[in-house]
Amino acid sequence: VQIFGHEPEMMAEAVRYFCTRKDIGLIDLNMGCPTPKIVKNGDGSALLRDPVLVESILKAAVSASREMGEQGTEMSNPCRMRIA
């Protein structure tokens, strides 16, 4: 599944949700989409202009993934993430 956004806690919440889904094997954080309707909201490739925000998003998303693993959340596969 691919998610996009610019709010670290919302991205972390999406990661938490998708980590509980047995049909999801990978979470792709979209940070490269140039589509105007995505960029105008500060999402996708717009994030590349704000490395501090990208760092916050990554820390929140990785932390959420680890948190779900530590809780013993039932997952068919360990939660894996990819940056695109």
Catalytic choice (24, 33, 38, 39)? 33
Higher-confidence residue: 71 or 13? 13
- pLDDT, one tens digit per residue, over 18-77 is 998 989 888 999 999 999 999 999 999 999 999 999 999 999 999 998 888 777 655 545
pLDDT of residue 73: 54
pLDDT classification of 84: cutoffs 50, 70, 90: low
33 belongs to the catalytic site: yes
For residues 19 and 29, what is the distance between their CA atoms, to the nearest angstrom?
A: 14
pLDDT at 76: 45
DSSP type of residue 83? E
Please give the model's pTM, rounded to 2 decimal places. 0.82
23 CB-contact burial (10 Å; exposed 0-12 / middle 13-18 / buried 19+): exposed
pLDDT score, position 42: 96
Question: For the chain, where are the alpha helices, taking DSSP H only?
Answer: 8-19, 36-39, 51-70
